């Protein structure tokens, strides 16, 4: 890409150079979609950020799901089937939403960093489950695989929307 490559501001339509971060006319942030979507090396730092956000979202959604369902149904501890469903839905929502927002909101983050960070946290949680339960189960492996698929789906959708909504003229 040459230095004289011209970009249009999405807000006011004024032209600016590719090296500019902000529009000279209105001050809006300028994104060079070609640069953002070009291939680049995998970033461990961005994967760590994704892992931290995934961890936080899993904890938050697990807590809120359990809290609000307990308010709704006080007899949840006497019904183990409902308890298992609720204990799985919170982390699943946390994984899906964190991977979506990580990829969508943070400009340099791509699908591969989001999925790597989320998968690390998912596997760490599942290994700790196996250690605490002192048993390795195929169901646990299936839950981990399904959780990684959720992370990929959220990251893909976030990247798709970032490309279509945030950066299209």
CB atoms within 10 A of CB 53: 23
Least confident of 78-82, 108-112, 137-141, 158-162: 78-82
**What is the rounded average pLDDT of the residues 97-106?**
90
Q: Give the pLDDT score at 150.
A: 92
Gap between the Cα atoms of 4 and 94, Å rounded? 43
Q: Give the pLDDT score at 121.
A: 93
Q: Give the pLDDT score at 157.
A: 93
Three-class DSSP category at 87:
helix
Between CA 101 and CA 167, with CA 109 as vertex, the angle to 5 degrees is 80
**What is the rounded average pLDDT of the residues 49-66?**
90
Dihedral sign from CA coordinates of 14, 20, 23, 24: negative
Q: Where are the domains of the chain?
A: 1-30, 40-166
Q: Is the pLDDT of residue 8 over 80?
A: no
Q: Give the chain's length.
A: 169
**What is the rounded average pLDDT of the residues 109-120?**
91
Among the listed residues 16, 55, 43, the one whose alpha carbon sits nearest the alpha carbon of residue 32: 16
Largest pairwise CA distance in the chain: 69
Three-class DSSP category at 158:
helix
Token readout for 137 is 């189960």
Angle of helix 44-72 versus helix 80-105 axis, rounded to 10: 140
Q: Give the pLDDT score at 48.
A: 93
Q: Give the pLDDT score at 122.
A: 92
At 14-33, the pLDDT tens digits run 777 766 677 777 877 766 55
Least confident of 8-17, 100-109, 157-166: 8-17
What distance, in Å, lies between the first and last C-alpha atoms of the chain? 19
Q: Give the pLDDT score at 169.
A: 44
């Amino acid at each position: 890409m040459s230095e004289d490559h011209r970009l249009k501001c999405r807000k006011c339509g004024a032209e600016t150079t590719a090296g500019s971060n902000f529009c000279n006319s209105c001050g809006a942030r300028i994104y060079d979609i070609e640069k953002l979507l070009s291939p680049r090396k995998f970033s461990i730092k961005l994967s760590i950020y994704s892992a931290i956000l995934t961890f936080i979202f899993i904890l938050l959604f697990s807590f809120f799901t359990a809290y609000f369902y307990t308010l709704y149904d006080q007899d949840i501890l006497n019904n183990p089937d409902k308890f298992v469903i609720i204990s799985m839905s919170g982390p699943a929502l946390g994984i899906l939403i964190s991977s979506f927002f990580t990829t969508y909101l943070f400009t340099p983050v791509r699908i591969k960093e989001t999925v790597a960070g989320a998968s690390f946290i998912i596997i760490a949680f599942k290994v700790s489950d196996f250690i605490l339960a002192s048993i390795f189960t195929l169901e646990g492996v299936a839950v981990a695989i399904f959780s990684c698929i959720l992370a990929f789906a959220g990251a893909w959708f976030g990247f798709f929307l970032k490309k279509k909504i945030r950066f299209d003229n």
